[in-house]
Structure 1
Amino acid sequence: MSTFVCCLLSNLALLAAVHLVCGCARAMRPDLRVRGTRVFIGLIVLAFVFDTALTFLVFADAGGPWRNQKPAETFFARTAAYLLAAVLAIVLARVARRATPPGAIEIETSPYSKSTLPM
């Protein structure tokens, strides 16, 4: 259980850091279209691939002190933490996208697609 909690907390800290960096990048360059959630999902997938490779290819046959850590048994807790953090990031992104303040000014961005942008 402690493996799950530690991995989940580190993933949520990574989510906050990615959103902070992406927000700063968009503030410096408004034409930059980078989404923190998409960057975070990419990092989580990359971390999961490396975690799987290390667990089952490197540490599976390692002797010595690695046998006491049992990385294959804690792999499923880490996987659940990766999945929960990714789902939470997607849900929070959708909630934030739908939340527009009442009385917000909307401007038309394209006459062809009839899209609007809340200000």
Structure 2
Amino acid sequence: MVNFIAVLLSNLALLVGARVGCWLIRCARPDLALYGTSIFLGLMASALTFDTAITFLVFADASGPWRVHNPSETYPQRALAYVLAALLALLAVGYARRREARKAPASALEIETSPYSKSTLPM
């Protein structure tokens, strides 16, 4: 359980770092379209791929002190931490998009319906 929590916390710290880094880059260069969550999801996919390869191709046949760390026991916890961090990132993005949609005006285009009453109709 300690392994799961440590990997999850490190992944969430990586998410925060990616989002803050991309936010700083977008503040400096607004023409660049970098999104921290997309970069983080790519990092999680590659980390899970490399972790799987190293666990089952390298350490599966390792002898000596590595026998104590059974890959079939520790790998599912790390994989679950990767997947859970990715799901939390996607939930955070969905929440932020819904919040931004509520803040945004419903329509920027308005038609004047009556020149006398100065009434408008949003399109």
Counterpart Cα distance in 1 of 2:84 and 2:103: 34
Ranges in structure 1 where 5+ consecutive residues have no aligned partner: 109-119
- CA RMSD of superposed structures (Å): 1.8
Normalising by the residue count of structure 2, what TM-score does the alignment of the two structures yield? 0.81
- Deviation for aligned residue 1:101: 8.3
- Deviation for aligned residue 1:100: 2.8
Give the aligned residue type for 1:75.
Answer: Y
Give the aligned residue type for 2:80.
Answer: A
Q: Percent identity?
A: 49
Larger C-alpha radius of gyration, 1 or 2?
2
Is 1:97 aligned to residue 79 of structure 2?
A: no
Structure with greater helix percent: 2
Question: Secondary structure, in 3 states, of the residue corresponding to 1:59?
Answer: helix
Ranges in structure 2 where 5+ consecutive residues have no aligned partner: 109-123
Question: Secondary structure, in 3 states, of the residue corresponding to 1:14?
Answer: helix
How many corresponding residue pairs? 108
Counterpart Cα distance in 1 of 2:36 and 2:103: 27
Structure-2 change in CA distance of 1:102 and 1:39 (3 Å) = closer
Counterpart Cα distance in 1 of 2:75 and 2:103: 48
Counterpart Cα distance in 2 of 1:107 and 1:13: 38
Structure-2 change in CA distance of 1:101 and 1:70 (3 Å) = same
Q: Which runs of 4+ in 1 moved over 2 A?
A: 100-108
